[in-house]
Amino acid sequence: MIRPFTIARSPHVNDTTSLLMKAKFFLSVFCCLFALMAWSQTRTVSGRVLTDSTREALAGVTVTLKGTKRTLQTDNKGQFSIEVPDKGAVLVFTSVGYNRQEINVGGRTSLEIALTTSSTTLTDVVVVGYRTVQRRDLSASVSSVGARDLKDIPLNSAAEALNGRLAGVTATTAEGSPDAQVRIRVRGGMSITGDNSPLYIIDGVPVENALSTISPQDIQSIDVLKDAAATAIYGSRGANGVIIITTKGGRAGRAVVGFNTFYGVKKLAKELEVMSPYDYVYYQSERSRGSSTDSNNFVTNFGAWDKIGQYRGVGAKDWQKEVFGNTGYQTTSNVNLSGGNNKVTYNFGYTFNGDKAVVRKSDFNRHLVNLKGDYKITSFLRFGLSGRYSLQNVRGAGVSSESGSAYNRLRNAVKYRPFLSDGMTEDEQDPLADPNVGNNLTLTNPLLLANAEYRRKTTENKNATATLTFNITKNLTFRSVFGYDRNGVIDRQFSDSLSNLSIIQGSRKPVAGLDTTYRTTMTNSNVLIYTLKGLKKKHDLDFMIGEETVDERFEAHRNLFRNYANGTAYNDAFKNTDKGEPFAGYPRFQETRATLFSLFGHVGYGYKDKFLFSANLRADASSKFGAGKRTGYFPSGSFAWRLSKEQFLKNVRAISDLKLRLSYGKIGNNRIDNYQFLSIYSNNGTYYYGVNGQPVYGTYPVYLPNEDLQWESTVNRNVGLDIAFARNRFNLSVDYYYNTSDKLLLFRQIDPTWGYSGQQQNIGATTNKGVEIQLGAQIVKNKAFSWNANFNISFNKNRVDELAPGQTQFFPAASWGVSGQPTDYLVRIGEPVGSMYGLVTDGFYTTNDFNWDPATHIYTLKPGVVNSGGVTGVAQPGSIKFKDLNGDGKIDLDNDRQIIGNPNPKFTGGLNQQFTYKNWDASIFVNFSVGNDVYNANKIEFTNGYANNANMLAMMADRWKVVLPNGQTAQWVETRTIAGTAQQVVLGVSPEELSRLNANATIWQPLKGTGAFYPHSWAIEDGSFLRLNNVTLGYSVPLRDAFIKKLRFYFTGNNLAIITNYTGYDPEVSVRNNGLTPGLDYSAYPKSRSYIFGINASF
């Protein structure tokens, strides 16, 4: 029997086990006590959280001790206090709308944290085609202005934020009225007769008149998309660039109330210098010679010739000052309320603009309301709602309420007699200027004219946007945006019996007009976005597909009444239109509708943050074109190479970032009137069918339809380089673009046998190219002082390449003065769009150009001297002379006109500098334009002699004179019969005596008759300028009050100085709302200079 093997146990084993167990127990207790002791070694850390940009306190920021559940929120001063362990403590700061920040506490007990905003700003992301992109990852050409660039500048209009601040973007104000139209152009525009305005997007929805319906104080950022890589995703509406405006939203935390108000005074920046009372009377004496009636009237009104010296002591009446020289004022007040929590954020803004203009009896006010909210329904579903409302009122006629520019208020202020008649007060009509029925060129007391004209224009805009965002997964998002925009305009104009309009149209009885227009746009876009970052730490992917519908409706009503009883007040005329007589063909009514349906997609790929690829495709179907022509396809692609990631640049410490960009794409344009492929009929006329002599209203076809109309198309090519130096303190962007357009939508003149003057067709081509440079610099930044600067310069050239088959040029239907004058602009192949066209001025004739017969006292042109009489009347010493371009010895409009000016500048730009020193801040902004011509038609108008008793510009005091000091007529024109034919001949004193009289003459005799209005090169001036646009100085009061977070006082001067050779009111002018006729200055509302004091506060 085998017994099991056993090991005998020592009697000491149980004791050993007991000792081990006890040791383990005491060791555990020791470790626990040690840990408790270590944890008990904590301290309190306190601090304050501010915004990085404005240094304002941030309330409601979540402060968390990393790795624990210990958390709290900052109070309304942005302050916090938290217990942390002595070693290894890390605090995490988070807040909606700001970037998360982790801080290693170390041995500190006090912290100041500056959070950077994570919303759409100049330095973070930009909005590009239904999505946002990190600025450093852009492969397209985009320029931006952020809230931090505008926060310290008092602006009344969003357009002011664009003028001169962005490369490739120009903002030209037509004139100086408070509601003046602003023409925004991105890279010059490509269309000839179409609209070259950019597309405006506010919070994801297309908006008409966007810049006048939103307060600058409510803007978070403005992103301008310039090349096809960025704009093609918007298809047909992106041909002229896209301006995306993002409004301010709320942030989590306690409610913050902001208040900004400023008040300013303004004066006319410049006046036109006119002849003195003596020079005026002297000229009236000259003008009266040769007519017994005029001579007698001169003696009656001014006295004998030998007594006119008494007018040297007569004080001049400054009618410009009376009409435009008021001390105007402007005031703007803005209140803003924002706040929220982790579920709901909100922002509300209200702005009031008031402007009492420098022009008599003119003022302007505007109310702007902006509301934006965001609701986080669940962790994956978010709903946003924004609404805007604007109401704008313009009172007064400005420079004129009448449609004909030849008899406006500015003309009367310059040409009206420069002194008062005996016993006459300034608000009485001069008996010399009593208007005659049917004469629209006579003069009217400008003060009476201001009272005789009334205008009230009310513009109301309502806009609402709803956004639903569904985060399906971490990487997949669906977004749906619904937009509604309605713009309504009511324009009332009244002219009483004194106005020229009533004289011409109402037999010297009051005339009233009432226009109403409504434009309603509804949009819906739905997009699905997939984003994948850092796949295998190398690949970044993003995809987007979407659809969009746009429905736009337009209504217009127009009524025009005349022959009200004299003495009718303007309000009675509008309330009781039955007391007036409707004009023939009125009332008029128009209603149109246009729709657009679009499908679009985007794909983007990035490799190792070094290579970036992007591609877009959009298909637009527009109701503006007929069957088979409605759909246009607009592709684009771009590539960026971040050279700074390459090995050969990694050790170049001076370069922070270096990126090369290439893009190519096709975009379209459908901005023409609706229904031009259909036969449309109108009842805007009166047809007489002989029924007892009564008018019978009928209809007539408006257009000759063209079923083949299709999209304009533009191919856009862009090369860009972005460089950042010295740890991003200096940033430089350079872009070169070359754009070509074809199938331009032009109105082509056709054979009259069709019964129409022309037809809309797809003809013509243009080229547009240029270079843009944008430089940003953080020159100095330390605790006490900072200096930032932004400079931009843009070079642009455009050219007409093709017109209709067999056509080399055409003349736009345009004129600036009375009817019957030749056109003043030209569109020609090989030349820029909108070239100025006219005769070439060649000084004036002198006695050396004539033979003089001592027997008959007749002057005759010497052989070989060009005869300008065909356009100016008989040539004589002192009359204007033009160049004979075709060498036939005579001047005529058909053969002796040429391009005389180019309104397109060689380059434009601006420099903005911002300074801070402790609690002081300052900014200086200058903008410039070089190489553009301005057509100063005022010079032609205000040096003319066509109207009796009219004054002229001061330069005409040095004209060629025809009266000797003793009162004898030195030169005159008579009609004589020569060889059986009545001819005008020039007679005068001897050439020696006439030359002595005019030894100091610098300009010709005033022109009379139709030729007085012919455009010629003397009126074309260099419009180059350097303007000190804005200077601001501010002081922020240091505060310890818990209620007031910010209090800043500032002073601003606008339009303080300008360096220019231009002789008119202002070279930055373009009174016609037509891209074919830019740079025209005729009777523009003068620009003013303003001085503003304001206060910024937040609570």
Instruction: Say if residue 513's pLDDT is above 70.
Output: yes
pLDDT tier at 122, thresholds 50, 70, 90: very low
Structural domain includes residue 471:
no
Sign (positive/negative) of CA torsion 100, 103, 109, 114?
A: negative
| SS3 assignment, position 550 | strand
Structural domain includes residue 57:
yes
Cβ-based burial of 1091 (10 A; exposed 0-12, middle 13-18, buried ≥19): middle
State phi, psi for 438 to the nearest 5 degrees: 90, -5
Structural domain includes residue 46:
yes
pLDDT tier at 37, thresholds 50, 70, 90: very low
pLDDT tier at 10, thresholds 50, 70, 90: very low
The residue assigned the tokens 């030169």 is 971
> Is the distance from CB of 869 to CB of 907 less than 8 angstroms?
no
What's the full length of the chain, in residues? Answer: 1099
Structural domain includes residue 61:
yes
Host domain of residue 94: 42-115
For the segment 862-873, the average pLDDT, to the nearest whole number, is 92
> Is the distance from CB of 262 to CB of 1030 less than 8 angstroms?
no
Instruction: Say if residue 723's pLDDT is above 80.
Output: yes
- As a whole number of angstroms, the distance between CA 510 and CA 495 comes to 6
> Is the distance from CB of 663 to CB of 142 less than 8 angstroms?
no
- As a whole number of angstroms, the distance between CA 875 and CA 838 comes to 19
Give the pLDDT confidence score for residue 396 in this predicted structure: 75
Q: Which residue has the higher pLDDT, 23 or 379?
A: 379
Structural domain includes residue 63:
yes
- As a whole number of angstroms, the distance between CA 118 and CA 113 comes to 15
Sign (positive/negative) of CA torsion 558, 564, 566, 567?
A: negative
Q: For the segment 275-288, what is each residue's pLDDT rounded down to a tens digit?
A: 999 999 999 988 88
Among 104-108, 272-276, 386-390, 1031-1035, the minimum mean pLDDT is found in 104-108
The residue assigned the tokens 């609690």 is 919
CB atoms within 10 A of CB 786: 15
Structural domain includes residue 797:
no
> Is the distance from CB of 177 to CB of 398 less than 8 angstroms?
yes
Instruction: Say if residue 479's pLDDT is above 90.
Output: yes
Q: For the segment 528-565, what is each residue's pLDDT rounded down to a tens digit?
A: 999 998 888 899 999 999 999 999 999 999 998 888 88
Sign (positive/negative) of CA torsion 30, 31, 32, 34?
A: positive
- As a whole number of angstroms, the distance between CA 862 and CA 869 comes to 14
Q: Which residue has the higher pLDDT, 818 or 787?
A: 787
Burial 201-232 (b: 16+ CB within 10 A, else e): bbbbbbbbbbbbbbbbbbbbbbbbbbbbbbbb
Q: For the segment 252-271, what is each residue's pLDDT rounded down to a tens digit?
A: 778 889 999 999 998 888 88
Instruction: Say if residue 688's pLDDT is above 70.
Output: no
Q: For the segment 613-647, what is each residue's pLDDT rounded down to a tens digit?
A: 999 999 999 999 888 899 999 999 999 999 988 88
**Which range, 122-131, 265-274, 499-508, is most confident?**
265-274
Give the pLDDT confidence score for residue 98 in this predicted structure: 75
Mean pLDDT, the chain, integer: 85
The H or E element containing residue 20 is helix 13-39
Give the pLDDT confidence score for residue 22 in this predicted structure: 47
pLDDT tier at 53, thresholds 50, 70, 90: low
Q: For the segment 936-952, what is each residue's pLDDT rounded down to a tens digit?
A: 999 998 998 887 888 99
- As a whole number of angstroms, the distance between CA 236 and CA 619 comes to 9
Tokens describing residue 1019:
């009126």
For the segment 593-604, the average pLDDT, to the nearest whole number, is 95
- As a whole number of angstroms, the distance between CA 414 and CA 411 comes to 5
Peptide bond into 1078 cis (omega under 30): no
Q: Give the chain's domain count.
A: 1
Among 689-693, 768-772, 1042-1046, the minimum mean pLDDT is found in 689-693
Cβ-based burial of 52 (10 A; exposed 0-12, middle 13-18, buried ≥19): middle
According to the 3-state scheme, what is the secondary structure of 380-434? Answer: CEEEEEEEEEEEEEEECCCCCCCCCHHHCHHHHHHHCCCCCCCCCCCCCCCHHHC
Is 0.85 topped by the overall pTM?
Answer: no
> Is the distance from CB of 249 to CB of 375 less than 8 angstroms?
no
Tokens describing residue 1051:
């002073």
Give the pLDDT confidence score for residue 683 in this predicted structure: 65
> Is the distance from CB of 204 to CB of 247 less than 8 angstroms?
no
The H or E element containing residue 300 is helix 292-302
Among 183-192, 268-277, 1019-1028, the minimum mean pLDDT is found in 183-192
Instruction: Say if residue 1050's pLDDT is above 50.
Output: yes
Give the pLDDT confidence score for residue 432 in this predicted structure: 61
For the segment 451-477, the average pLDDT, to the nearest whole number, is 92
| CATH at residue 76 | 2.60.40.1120
> Is the distance from CB of 103 to CB of 91 less than 8 angstroms?
yes
Tokens describing residue 526:
């739905």
According to the 3-state scheme, what is the secondary structure of 980-1019? Answer: CEEEEEEEECCHHHHHHHCCCCCECCCECCHHHHCCEHHH
Tokens describing residue 599:
């499908």
Strand partners, 144: 223
Structural domain includes residue 53:
yes
Structural domain includes residue 775:
no
pLDDT tier at 17, thresholds 50, 70, 90: very low
Reference 324, options 279, 361, 286; nearest CA is 361
Give the pLDDT confidence score for residue 653 in this predicted structure: 83
For the segment 772-800, the average pLDDT, to the nearest whole number, is 93
- As a whole number of angstroms, the distance between CA 37 and CA 26 comes to 16
